[in-house]
């Protein structure tokens, strides 16, 4: 009598959770939980909703940088100039707002500056054949110098009250601060891009093996330049948030040190520093 085929058992809830999170990230989550427990024991007010929302708002700007730095690391690149780009965008947004009286023009000007800086970074890496770390380290100093020159080394305040900037700094939606909503929207957009689109699949492929990706017909140059431009956009958003929170454009003080924080945050968040796709990650199914 022929043997009956053995039906594999469905994985349990714990195994499915580990597969979704990633085994390599489990230790990070355990450490985070332990840290939260320790802080809540040391301070009774730590787990209060108001305190947690303040912490979330305070870390939004750094969180945005970590998101795009993670995208670059997956691609197999890096950007050390994110902080100086945010500082330059902050100055430009405040100066345009002060001269035109329109926060919309200020935001658009900052985004345009961010795109331009990102394109410059990408083209230096591609056409100049410069290592991304070296290229963006040089541009860190360049963008910081431009911000200092156009601002005369001073914070650029804008007169009067602006509803959009006030809303970004102090507003809330459904009980959550506006700053946190900006972070959540950007995070959701990047998650969808990476997990549910061909663009995200190609980004993983380039980071995993750029030679194989090129042989598969992926235009690596376009992807690298495009991702650097996207980094510039998010850097500009962070710069606008800096201006909204401080009430002025900050050439350096509001963005100093964001570069190392972004890389550290991306690594601690579980991004594989060697780039490419984590085999344990799951993608959205496509019909």
For the stretch 25-44, pLDDT in tens is 677 778 878 888 888 888 88
Are 233 and 112 in contact by the 8 Å Cβ rule? The answer is no
Q: For the residues 184-206, what does the mean pLDDT come to?
A: 88
Are 198 and 222 in contact by the 8 Å Cβ rule? The answer is no
Per-residue pLDDT, 200: 86
Domain ranges of the chain: 24-58, 60-268
pLDDT tens digits, one per residue of 207-218: 888 888 888 888
Per-residue pLDDT, 275: 65
Per-position b or e across 124-158, b if 16+ CB within 10 A of its CB? bbbeeeeebeebbbebbeebbebbbeebeeebbeb
Tokens 């009980």 correspond to 175
Phi, psi of 128 (to 5 degrees): -85, -10
Q: For the residues 179-206, what does the mean pLDDT come to?
A: 88
Give 286's pLDDT tier (boundaries 50, 70, 90). Answer: very low
pTM of the complete model: 0.81
pLDDT at 171 over 70: yes
């Amino acid at each position: 009598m022929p043997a009956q085929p053995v039906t594999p058992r469905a994985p349990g809830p714990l195994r499915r959770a580990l597969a979704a999170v990633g085994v390599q990230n489990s230790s990070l989550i355990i450490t985070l939980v332990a840290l939260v427990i320790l802080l809540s024991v040391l301070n009774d007010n730590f787990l209060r909703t108001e305190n947690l929302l303040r912490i979330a708002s305070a870390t939004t700007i750094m969180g945005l940088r970590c998101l795009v730095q993670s995208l670059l690391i997956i691609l197999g690149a890096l950007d050390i100039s994110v902080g100086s780009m945010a500082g330059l965008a902050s100055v430009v947004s405040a100066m345009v707002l002060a001269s035109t009286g329109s926060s919309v023009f200020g935001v658009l000007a900052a985004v345009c500056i961010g795109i331009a800086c990102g394109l410059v970074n990408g083209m230096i890496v591609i056409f100049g054949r410069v290592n991304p770390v070296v290229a963006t380290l040089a541009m860190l100093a360049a963008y910081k110098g431009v911000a200092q020159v156009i601002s005369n080394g001073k914070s650029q305040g804008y007169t009067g009250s602006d509803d959009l900037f006030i809303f970004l700094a102090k507003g809330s939606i459904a009980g959550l601060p506006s700053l946190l909503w900006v972070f959540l929207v950007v995070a959701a957009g990047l998650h969808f891009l990476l997990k549910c689109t061909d663009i995200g699949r190609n980004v993983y492929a380039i980071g995993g093996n750029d030679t194989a990706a090129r042989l598969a017909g992926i235009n690596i140059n376009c992807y690298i330049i495009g991702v650097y431009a996207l980094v510039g956009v998010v850097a500009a958003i962070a710069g606008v948030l800096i201006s909204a929170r401080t009430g002025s454009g900050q050439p350096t003080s509001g963005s100093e040190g964001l570069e190392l924080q972004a890389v550290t945050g991306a690594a601690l968040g579980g991004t594989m520093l060697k780039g490419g796709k984590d085999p344990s990650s799951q993608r959205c199914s496509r019909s």
